[in-house]
Structure formats: C-alpha cells, structure tokens
Amino acid sequence: MQTLTTRCCVVGGGPAGMMAGLLLARQGVDVTVLEKHGDFLRDFRGDTVHPSTLQIFDELGLIEEFLTIKHSEVRTISIETPAGSTEVADFTRLPGKYRYVAFMPQWDLLDFVARKARELPSFRLIQRAEATDLVQVDGRVLGVRVTTADGPLEIHSDLVLAADGRHSTVRRAAGLPLSVSETPMDVLWFRLSREPGEGMSFLRTGPGHLLITIDRGAYWQVAYIIPAGAYDTVRAEGLPRLRERIASVRGTFKERLEREITDWDDLKLLNVRVDRLRTWYRPGLLCIGDAAHAMSPAGGVGINLAVQDAVAAARMLGPALKAGRTPSRRELAAVQRRRAFPARVVQFVQVRLMSDMYPKEPGTYTRPPSVVRIVRRFPFLRRWTARLIGLGVRPEHVE
Ligand SMILES: Cc1cc2nc3c(=O)[nH]c(=O)nc-3n(C[C@H](O)[C@H](O)[C@H](O)COP(=O)(O)OP(=O)(O)OC[C@H]3O[C@@H](n4cnc5c(N)ncnc54)[C@H](O)[C@@H]3O)c2cc1C
C-alpha cells in the first residue's frame, strides 16, 4: 500500500472539486484532487456557466482566456408551451459585467480549470483514483483510502473535502445523515444530429411532456423528462411509442429519431434526486456541491452552486490549511451556515415551485406551468428569475 500526505484531499473532480483545488492551490495550500475517471468527457454533465461563475473567473484574472473556449451566450430563456413561447428569464438586466449564461460542454470548463491549476506547484490531480473509504480514528477523519490504476493508495490529510457528487461515497462512509430526499423526475438523455444552422428553444413543455435541447454544435443533447420511476412503463410501451411521444413535442426530430434512436442503448436513464445533508462536516471532513446537496437539473444551477460552495470553502478554510492546521469544527460549521441557505432556496424552487412543469402521467393534460403564467402576468419578474438562476442567493467572491 502506497501512502501520500497532503494538506487537503479533495475527492471528486467535478465543478466543486476542481474549483476548490484551483483556489486552494492559488493560496499555496498543498492540495490533491482525486477523480475516479481518466478524463472529464462524460456527456451527462450540464453545460451551463452562469454569470456568478464568469464573475469568479474574472476575479481570478482568467476570464479572457476562458471565453476563448467555444461557447454560446444565452441572454434570455424561453419556455415553449402549446400556447406559444414565453420568455421567463432575462439576463440582460442583471447587475455586474456578465449578463448572459455561457453554454459550454462541461468537459471544456473542467479541462480549463485543471490546466490552470496544474500550473500551480502545490496542486496535484490524480485521475483514475477512486476513494473507497475514509481513514478515521475516534470519529476524526484523517484521510482517504483510494483505488488507483497503480494499486491501493492511502492519503493522509488535514482536511478531506468531499466533492464526489450526488452518490457520494465519502458522505456515506462518514455516516452523515440526509435530511431531505426526493426524486422529482427521471431523465432520458440522448443525442440527435443537428442540421447546419438549425436553432430551437431550449425548453419545451406541454401535455405530459418536457423536452430540453442543448446545442452542442454538431449535435443536440436532448433530455426527455419522464415521471420519477416511470422508466419501466416507458420501456414496456416500446421504442416506437417513445419516439412518437418525443416527435409529438418536436416534429422536426421525427426522422432523426427513427434513424438514430434504434436501441435502448442509445438512451441513458438519469435518475434525478434532490437531497441535502443535515450536517455537512465531521472533524477533518467537509462535504460541498452535490455531495452536500444533490440538485435537480431544473434551472440548470447545480454546477454554479457547486462552484460557489468551492469558492466559500477555499476562502474560509484556506488560511487554516495554509497555516498547517486542521480547520476547527467552528470553521467547518461556518461554511455550512453560509452555503446551506442558498442551496435550500434553490431546492425549494426546483422541487416545489417548478413541480408543475414536470410530467406526471405521460399524455395527461397540464396547464402552462405556473412560472409561465406568473411571468406572463408580471413580466418584470423575468429579471428576478434571471437573478436567481444567474447569480443565486448569496454570490461568493474569491477574496
Ligand atoms: C441530468 C442532469 C442534468 C443536469 N444539468 C445541469 C445543467 O445544465 N446545469 C447545471 O448547473 N446543473 C445541472 N445539473 C446538476 C449538476 O450536474 C450538479 O449539481 C453538479 O454537477 C454538481 O457538481 P459537483 O462537483 O458537486 O458534483 P459532480 O459534477 O457530480 O462531480 C463529482 C465528481 O466526483 C467524481 N467521483 C465520484 N465518486 C468518486 C470517488 N469515490 N472517488 C473519486 N472521484 C469520484 C465523479 O466522477 C465526478 O467527476 C444536472 C443534473 C442532472 C442529474
């Protein structure tokens, strides 16, 4: 068994973990990020970089280089319903410099952060390294047990930052209790080719369906939302019926669906869960991002909330780690206190206020979602929806 000692061991190289690694390394903290995959190329990741995250890159002096990566800039979000299209969020009137959401494949975002972090001497990223358990003595977390491509590894650290997502191994190993757990929907996730110059709205909802189309250049990344737990029923009805349902939402997809979705393996089922920990920390351990509060894709805010957690954690705990000491219980609790409120607000909106957007029974009639009805009645609210999506409740800053 090999061993490695580092000040902070970050488990998980998603938005929360990579950003925490970069920010701690910039403070001169010796940090090791573990990522179980060999690259960042997984297409189930969301693609949105919000104004709050763009602002962070600005504060780091990296924004110009970041924006040279291919992306599209979305200034308003509309929902299409059978009654027409309604603009539900207008980012152009946000305070601050960045008044749009940048759509960029998440692997490009993570590659960029990894590249910048690797330039710093105290940063280490180990890929194909899966944390399997914690090293604990008397309820105190002292490190992580890891399986790597080169065999088992034990890492000793002053702090383990769990950023290993919604199925977090670390939070399970720590026995941290969940206070909420809901499954508002499931997602069928697939690609369809995109015709040159083809444009379409991002979100279309109607009688018993919700379809999200993300422009990834050569293809559309499509999310077809089904009721939570409905996959077996959808499968029993057969692929032709599913293709028919999707084509009834977006007629122009009909032939492409027949050509490109010919097997269930062409679709991925993603289970969406929304949960949060009652306590995010134990001595020597702090959970951030989805590991602390798993987010639904609704509103596309999970990535940015994860980044904001990382910014707060690095800013609040970096000085203790730099001084060579394990952050105290009080310091860990302060991070939770600061970040739990924004997560709770967003989860409330995702699960309660947006619940009537999600299909319940395929084919049943639903009225336009309340968000559409409200914004049609009070158009000035589009500014506030944009603020919630784009900046969140408690925007963080690097310093
Ligand atoms: C279908 C779907 C679509 C979504 N779309 C969007 C969107 O468009 N915009 C948006 O903002 N949010 C979206 N979200 C939410 C968003 O994906 C999450 O909130 C966000 O990714 C959380 O970031 P994170 O870094 O905390 O965790 P993750 O992104 O889940 O990253 C965790 C990382 O840890 C690694 N890992 C896991 N276990 C281990 C282990 N034991 N050892 C080492 N590494 C490990 C994983 O490989 C992964 O790289 C979506 C969610 C779903 C389910």
pLDDT in tens, the chain (399 residues): 899 999 999 999 999 999 999 999 999 999 999 999 999 887 666 788 999 999 999 999 999 999 999 998 989 888 888 778 888 899 999 999 999 999 888 999 999 999 999 999 999 999 999 999 999 999 999 999 999 999 999 999 999 999 999 999 999 999 998 887 777 788 899 999 998 888 877 778 776 678 888 888 888 989 998 888 889 999 999 999 999 989 988 889 999 999 999 999 999 998 888 899 999 999 999 999 999 999 887 777 889 999 999 999 999 999 999 999 999 999 999 999 999 999 999 888 877 766 777 666 655 555 677 888 888 899 999 999 999 999 999 999 998
Note whether 206 and 263 are same-domain residues: yes
Q: Using CA atoms, how far apart are residues 222 and 187, in angstroms rounded to an integer?
A: 10
Q: Closest Cα to atom 27, ligand 1: which residue?
A: 165
Q: Which of 303, 358, 389 to mutate to test the pocket of ligand 1 (most atoms within 8 A of CB)?
A: 303
Q: Closest Cα to atom 18, ligand 1: which residue?
A: 302
Q: Using CA atoms, how far apart are residues 317 and 325, in angstroms rounded to an integer?
A: 10
In single-letter form, the type of residue at position 320 comes to A
> Domain boundary at 272, 300, 330, which?
272
Q: Closest Cα to atom 8, ligand 1: which residue?
A: 46
> Domain boundary at 272, 305, 335, which?
272
399 in any annotated domain: no
396 Cα–ligand 1 center, Å? 20
Note whether 173 and 227 are same-domain residues: no
Note whether 360 and 241 are same-domain residues: no
Report helix, strand or coil for 257.
helix
At residue 210, the pLDDT reads 83
Count of CB atoms situated within 10 Å of the CB of 31: 30
201 in any annotated domain: yes
Tell me the C-alpha to C-alpha distance, in Å, between residue 247 and each of 185, 205, 319: 20, 13, 55
64 in any annotated domain: yes
> Domain boundary at 272, 305, 321, which?
272
At residue 46, the pLDDT reads 76
Q: Using CA atoms, how far apart are residues 42 and 292, in angstroms rounded to an integer?
A: 21
Note whether 215 and 229 are same-domain residues: yes
382 Cα–ligand 1 center, Å? 27
At residue 214, the pLDDT reads 82
Choose among 390, 375, 376, 369: nearest CA to 81.
369
Question: Is the CB of residue 267 less than 8 Å from the CB of residue 229?
Answer: no
Whether ligand 1 lies within 6 angstroms of the CB of 11 is answered as yes
Question: Is the CB of residue 311 less than 8 Å from the CB of residue 52?
Answer: no
Whether ligand 1 lies within 6 angstroms of the CB of 307 is answered as no
Note whether 31 and 173 are same-domain residues: yes
Note whether 257 and 192 are same-domain residues: yes
Calculate the CA dihedral of residues 42, 251, 231, 80 and round it to 10 degrees: 80
Q: Closest Cα to atom 51, ligand 1: which residue?
A: 297
Choose among 382, 343, 6: nearest CA to 161.
6
374 in any annotated domain: no
Whether ligand 1 lies within 6 angstroms of the CB of 130 is answered as yes
Question: Is the CB of residue 226 less than 8 Å from the CB of residue 236?
Answer: no
Note whether 128 and 156 are same-domain residues: yes
196 in any annotated domain: yes
Whether ligand 1 lies within 6 angstroms of the CB of 309 is answered as no
The rounded Cα 398 to chain-centroid distance in angstroms is 20
Whether ligand 1 lies within 6 angstroms of the CB of 292 is answered as no
Whether ligand 1 lies within 6 angstroms of the CB of 113 is answered as no
Note whether 148 and 10 are same-domain residues: yes
29 Cα–ligand 1 center, Å? 24
94 in any annotated domain: no
Ligand 1 atom, smallest distance to 169 CA: 41
Ligand 1 atom, smallest distance to 271 CA: 53
149 in any annotated domain: yes
User: What is the number of domains present in the chain?
Assistant: 2
Note whether 10 and 119 are same-domain residues: yes
Q: Do the bridges between strand 84-90 and strand 76-81 make them parallel or antiparallel, or are there none, so unpaired?
A: antiparallel
282 in any annotated domain: yes
At residue 369, the pLDDT reads 78
Q: Using CA atoms, how far apart are residues 18 and 108, in angstroms rounded to an integer?
A: 12
Copy the structure tokens of residue 225: 């939302």
Q: Using CA atoms, how far apart are residues 72 and 182, in angstroms rounded to an integer?
A: 32
Question: Is the CB of residue 306 less than 8 Å from the CB of residue 357?
Answer: no
Note whether 105 and 16 are same-domain residues: yes
Tell me which residue range forms the domain holding 198. Answer: 183-272
Whether ligand 1 lies within 6 angstroms of the CB of 297 is answered as yes
At residue 360, the pLDDT reads 65
Q: Closest Cα to atom 5, ligand 1: which residue?
A: 46
pTM reported for the whole predicted model: 0.92
At residue 311, the pLDDT reads 98
Note whether 282 and 344 are same-domain residues: yes
Whether ligand 1 lies within 6 angstroms of the CB of 13 is answered as yes
Task: Strands of the chain (E only): list them.
Answer: 2-11, 31-35, 48-49, 72-74, 76-81, 84-90, 101-103, 123-127, 129-137, 140-148, 151-162, 178-193, 203-206, 209-215, 219-227, 268-277, 281-282, 285-287, 293-294
Note whether 135 and 268 are same-domain residues: no
- CATH code of the domain covering residue 306: 3.50.50.60
235 Cα–ligand 1 center, Å? 26
At residue 201, the pLDDT reads 74
